[in-house]
Amino acid sequence: MADCLFCKISSGEMDTDFVYEDDQVVVFEDINPQAPVHLLIVPKKHIADLNHLEASENDLIGHVYQVAKKMAAENGIDDSGYRLVSNCGDEGGQTVYHIHFHLLGGRELQWPPG
């Protein structure tokens, strides 16, 4: 998608410092962090949101969870706890319509979230 912010970031078109990258995802710090650790895990494949996720993409989402686990360990929040969030739709808080996951930790997170 030519006008998608996260497509531009994940393709390298926009200068972004990745904390992790492989053939399926990129990970970078959120520009408006809500916790001491707030990373975005963004698949390189454009999928608008969870409602557009196909069964053929289940392996990709499993990979996202493995990357989240790795990033939590590398950031020292794997034992204390963390949250992995994917917002879907306007009322769900989604602002960029490219599926992505927020990895949050480094402080006690409240429930309900908002």
Catalytic residue among 46, 52, 100, 102: 100
Q: Is 100 a catalytic residue?
A: yes
> Phi-psi category of 62—alpha, beta or left, where left has phi over 0 and alpha has psi -120 to 50?
alpha
Q: How many CB atoms lie within 10 A of CB 91?
A: 7
**Active site members:** 100
